[in-house]
Structure 1
Amino acid sequence: MEHPSVPKRPELCERCNLIFATIENLRSLVSSQGLPHYGPQELDEHAKAGCHMCQLLRYRFTPDYPHGTLFLQGSARDIPEVITQYPSQISSMGHLSVKWDTITIRVQGYTDDPVFSYLDIDPLSYDTGSAFVAKHYKKLLKECLEHHECGSRHLPPLPSRVIDVGLADSSIEPKLHVSDHTEKVPYTTLSYCWGDLGQLTTTKATLEKHQHCMPMSTLSLSVQNAITVTRHLGIRYLWVDALCIIQDCPTDVAREINKMGSIYTDSTLTIAATRSERAADGFLEKYSIDQAERPTEARYTMQGLAEPEPASKFFLPILLPNGTFGNISVSKKRPREWEPGYLESRGWTLQEFLLSKRLLLFGHDGDVRWHCLRRRGFDSVLFPSPSEEPEFVGGSLFVLHEGISGRGQTRQRVWSDIIKEYSGRKLTKLEDRLPAIAGIAAELKKQWNYSYAAGIWVELLQQDVLWEVLEEDDEIHPVSQQNIAPSWSWASVNKQVICPYDDRRWTAEILSCTVFLVDPGVPFGQVREGFLIIRGETCLETRATKGEFSGPGYKPKQDDVSSRASSLNLLLRVIHNTEYSKGNPYIGSSGVILQPVEDGKFKRVGVFSYDARHDITTNRSYWITREVIIV
């Protein structure tokens, strides 16, 4: 049957050229039966003759396809509206599939093609800062606010300062807004990397000036991009640390950092610039699938191919509701994998991710993702596909709360996972080791009502004191020379650490745990010094290294490359537990290695474990119970 008005694509056979080009075929595509195509033999012939659609189908379906004729079906994401005489499912067709088979073929098009006035399909090229992309994440935010239980419906007060983003037409420039603490309106937050280049910040000298105007041209590109996204969302205020904290005022810095937990928790949405290493880089970009070419002229001819490789992109004409034709492309459908960005390697950003109820992430190659408490994975904003779970468990601190019972062991696992992830991230300033996780600690304090001391919960201290350096590359990093935390805290070392969370019998007794803060008004911030007093069994480390009681099973692990066995070092045994394997008892002991410092005090320099069966009888006398003060 001839269809003279249908644009002819020379790279397609006649049947494939008409798949989307007639009203009858469109109705068949969305029917329960599907649109009949070729059988395997005809498909093979047309594929060898050069039809790219037949090549793609032949390449995709399995040789043992059980039916004589392939039936194509269009899969709709949703049905936004009913179009008279026109099958409504076509207007939201996400992909094409072969009936009774697992084949899925992505349907795409250019955003400036007439097809996008009618069909909700995947774009071949787009600008992540455009209204087109914004339409999709605005829809997700609206859905979450109206239908999800992702936080309180009551708006919290604004932070101390926020950026008034002005108007999208630039008739009003951004400016710094000082809140009176009674204003309750939505605001967004920005999670980004400062980088090594300078950017505009608020200082004592610029505070008043910024309240009048902060021209877009003076802001870092990442902040400009965040303002663009906030404007698209229809939200007036944005919080950015560089501009909303007075950077040369230590008092203001400490006070606002102490509030960061609630700032991100109360935010309507956090914008995450995951792809950018520096604030100057920005995170919005124009993206195009470069293999695709517009059908302005024929690129292919109907020539025979012995073993044709399907074209990466090609176009088919599609009939639109107004009677004209648009162009759509089909390709092998492969869900995009989320590629973690530079932002996810930085220490400060962990709490920004975990404390946010909603995240809008801008990644590599135009990849824009959505995360909220209901949608626990990282969902593609533009390309619907199965959710990808974040690498870090849960993806949100609020998800981690779920299922936590009153048992300390479960909470120990949560904290252990957080510390392992956080301690492996990078910080520009080592003195931020504790402040950069203070927001998480403050939120957990509300949930658990535990006592916090230099990165450790006192109620979980029995396990936390046995943290150890994770040595995946056999390299031991030195303890920081700065007085960041007491030696008994994991925060005292500049390396990734792990804390045990198994249920072992604690034999030592914690008598007291005391810390003195740099700023008493910042309870989760920097620590000046700390003391941990424990009563337990001790012995000289040399007895273990000489094999006098432990045999070959003694396994020390130093915190510091300069820490070695010494005649003065002390072993403090805190775990003494009997386990059974195939009916045979194994008595394991664990503890900390201590090095004497001034005034009879000790500092922790490592951990140890060993098979304690050797000291059950003759060597028990090596262990002496005493009190030790660890600084």
Structure 2
Amino acid sequence: MLILREWIRDCDEHSSCKPPQTILPTRILDVGTPDCPEVHLWDPVPEGTIGKYVSLSYCWGESPEFTTSRANLEARKAGITVADMPATYQDAVKLTRELGLRYLWLDSLCICQDDAADWERESSKMLSIYSNAYLTVSAARAKNTSEGFLGPRIKRTFVELLYTRDGLQQSVLAFNLPLQQELLKEKYIDLGDEPLSQRAWSLQERALSSRTLIYGSEQMYFECHEGFKGEDGLCLDEPENPQSLYWLHRLDLEGKSETDLLHEWSFMLTLYGPRSLTCASDKLPAFSGIASLYAKKLNQDYLAGLWKNHLVEGLMWQSLSFRRVEEYRAPSWSWASGDGIPPFGHIGEYNEIAEILDAKVTLKGSNPFGEVTDGRIKLRAPMEKLYMMTENFDPEAPGHFPYDNNVNIRTANGNQEGFHSRFDFDFTADDAAQEALKIVKSLENVDIFALFLSIDRHGLKNEVDESGTYFGLIVKRVGDTEMYKRLGFVLCDKEDIGRDLEKGGKEDYHTVTLV
């Protein structure tokens, strides 16, 4: 507790991270005095009430049971016995009290979990809740609420070393440092092995917080806008690579160009995409706080994870380690329709060849960054029918790259040897071969097309390539309509296509609607 108090004191005195006394959330837990056996849910908090509070970031576990509902709301207000709470909640109450603070925000208790309207309204406030907290406590080491975060930790092994100084023989205790983290300091900040780092909601909870106290498996860490510290003396405050050590800079978007903002947005998606969700429909809500922050800076409409003024670029996300979910949570053209890494596809400059005619989404509720029930993008672009080259197709054959187990495709007039397809599935997974075969079988007797969106004339070394690389989507028609669903993406050149798409007019472009 002494080192924690020192960290907070130094942060209060030497940085701008300390949030001012801010307006309390709609509901808050009043933890009372240190010896009080109960805490009380304060509901509703009078509008405009000022106070300091701790917010908790933690793993719920598979089946969270200790929640607030409409049925027990009054009982929660009357009092909650601390001893009846899960260990993680008890630890959070204890820590809040020892810091001399009165209020604690816990999502499972401060949001009515069985009231859809209340959940949507309160979950849309994550930006203000976490950014205004005096301190966010991250129970990074705990897989669920029953484990807690203040218990015994992995013990270090010390070796006694003798040395002589000024004629006196003395000894010191030394311990091993993890080689990978010492070589790549960002590995400390990533906390990739901690259970909480695998969860989707925790990304924005950590990114939006002004400062965070992290309880890891081996030690405690403290991070803020000024740096990252550990109990063992680790101190990272002057990163050589701001993107690798992104957490030290958080979401400081002031003064950045639109291009830089979009690049950082893409980077955030690579961090968020692979993280897991207990409820698949939370994919957009769990990122809504970060999205709302970018929306203010970009001053653009948000369409199920894409930005309206940059839809062509947004549509070209590449599905890496990607898996679609069975239930609907976003249109097929949105990265939110599945889980995995969806970075933007372009490295250098590119020319758009598709023309966006209309775009809209239907929200499930009132949160513009939350769940959607429908989304459509109408555009005009060149299309080519694709043919899968299934003869002698063997997804288990060894290849140079993981995506080689995709079936090759060709156009009617292009290179008859075909070229790589990149269907949306996890081609790095153990079951990649089975998934590739499943996709091929599901598309038997189904017409598929390449819908071309742009051309990139800059290679990996940013050298100009006159022939260029075309970026497009693999799509299939929905019934007899002019609506199409995304199946994957494709990269090819004019020889693969059999013609130069930029020559001639746009009279042969197709008008389609992506859903």
TM-score (norm 1): 0.67
Q: Name the residue aligned to 2:166.
A: none
**In the aligned structure 1, how far is the partner of 2:380 from the partner of 2:101?**
57
8 Å contact from structure 2 (residues 448, 476) kept in 1: yes
1:230 aligns with 2:96: yes
Q: Name the residue aligned to 1:383.
A: 232
Q: 1:359 to 1:579 in 2, by over 3 A?
A: closer
8 Å contact from structure 1 (residues 416, 499) kept in 2: yes
Runs of 5+ in structure 2 lacking a partner?
A: 164-169, 182-187, 389-408, 426-434
Q: 1:151 to 1:455 in 2, by over 3 A?
A: farther
Deviates more, 1:227-236 or 1:274-283: 227-236
1:625 aligns with 2:509: yes
Residue correspondence of structure 1 range 208-219 to structure 2 within 5 A: 208-219=74-85
Q: Name the residue aligned to 2:432.
A: none
Deviates more, 1:225-234 or 1:193-202: 193-202
Q: Name the residue aligned to 1:436.
A: 286
1:447 aligns with 2:266: no
Q: Name the residue aligned to 1:116.
A: none
* Deviations 1:92-150 (CA, angstroms, capped at 9, x unpaired): xxxxxxxxxxxxxxxxxxxxxxxxxxxxxxxxxxxxxxxxxx12112221222232112
SS in 2 for 1:137: helix
Q: Name the residue aligned to 1:108.
A: none
Read off the aligned partner of 2:513 and give its amino acid letter: I
**In the aligned structure 2, how far is the partner of 1:583 from the partner of 1:173?**
68
1:462 aligns with 2:304: no
Please state how far the C-alpha of 1:289 moved relative to its aligned partner: 4.5
Please state how far the C-alpha of 1:441 moved relative to its aligned partner: 0.8
Q: 1:201 to 1:391 in 2, by over 3 A?
A: farther
8 Å contact from structure 2 (residues 215, 221) kept in 1: yes
Q: Name the residue aligned to 1:139.
A: 6
Residue correspondence of structure 1 range 71-470 to structure 2 within 5 A: 134-150=1-17, 152-153=19-20, 155-168=21-34, 170-171=35-36, 173-178=38-43, 179-287=45-153, 289=155, 291=157, 312-313=159-160, 330-332=172-174, 334-335=176-177, 338=188, 339-340=191-192, 341-365=194-218, 367-375=219-227, 378-380=228-230, 382-387=231-236, 393-395=245-247, 398-401=250-253, 404-405=256-257, 407=258, 409-470=259-320
SS in 2 for 1:401: coil
8 Å contact from structure 1 (residues 247, 253) kept in 2: yes
Q: Percent identity?
A: 28
Runs of 5+ in structure 1 lacking a partner?
A: 1-133, 293-311, 317-327
8 Å contact from structure 2 (residues 57, 205) kept in 1: yes
8 Å contact from structure 1 (residues 470, 495) kept in 2: yes
**In the aligned structure 2, how far is the partner of 1:156 from the partner of 1:403?**
25
Read off the aligned partner of 1:383 and give its amino acid letter: D
**In the aligned structure 1, how far is the partner of 2:248 from the partner of 2:509?**
43
Q: Name the residue aligned to 1:608.
A: 490
Q: Name the residue aligned to 1:323.
A: none
Deviates more, 1:203-212 or 1:495-504: 495-504
Higher Cα radius of gyration: 1
8 Å contact from structure 2 (residues 214, 220) kept in 1: yes
Q: 1:211 to 1:625 in 2, by over 3 A?
A: same
SS in 2 for 1:281: coil
Residue among 548, 559, 562 paired with 2:413: 548
8 Å contact from structure 1 (residues 412, 501) kept in 2: no
**In the aligned structure 2, how far is the partner of 1:570 from the partner of 1:264?**
45
8 Å contact from structure 1 (residues 554, 610) kept in 2: yes
Read off the aligned partner of 2:413 and give its amino acid letter: E
8 Å contact from structure 2 (residues 68, 76) kept in 1: yes
Q: Name the residue aligned to 2:395.
A: none
Q: CA RMSD in A?
A: 3.0
1:572 aligns with 2:437: no
Aligned length: 456
Please state how far the C-alpha of 1:398 moved relative to its aligned partner: 4.0
SS in 2 for 1:491: helix
8 Å contact from structure 2 (residues 11, 18) kept in 1: no
Please state how far the C-alpha of 1:584 moved relative to its aligned partner: 6.3
SS in 2 for 1:384: coil
Please state how far the C-alpha of 1:156 moved relative to its aligned partner: 2.0
Q: Name the residue aligned to 1:528.
A: 373
Deviates more, 1:283-292 or 1:535-544: 283-292
8 Å contact from structure 1 (residues 541, 567) kept in 2: no
**In the aligned structure 2, how far is the partner of 1:343 from the partner of 1:540?**
45
Please state how far the C-alpha of 1:433 moved relative to its aligned partner: 1.0
**In the aligned structure 2, how far is the partner of 1:249 from the partner of 1:559?**
35
Q: 1:158 to 1:135 in 2, by over 3 A?
A: same
Read off the aligned partner of 2:116 and give its amino acid letter: P
1:495 aligns with 2:340: yes
Q: 1:167 to 1:596 in 2, by over 3 A?
A: same
**In the aligned structure 2, how far is the partner of 1:398 from the partner of 1:606?**
32
TM-score (norm 2): 0.81
**In the aligned structure 1, how far is the partner of 2:244 from the partner of 2:501?**
47
Please state how far the C-alpha of 1:563 moved relative to its aligned partner: 4.3
8 Å contact from structure 1 (residues 555, 608) kept in 2: yes
Please state how far the C-alpha of 1:173 moved relative to its aligned partner: 2.3
**In the aligned structure 2, how far is the partner of 1:618 from the partner of 1:235?**
65
Q: 1:425 to 1:287 in 2, by over 3 A?
A: closer
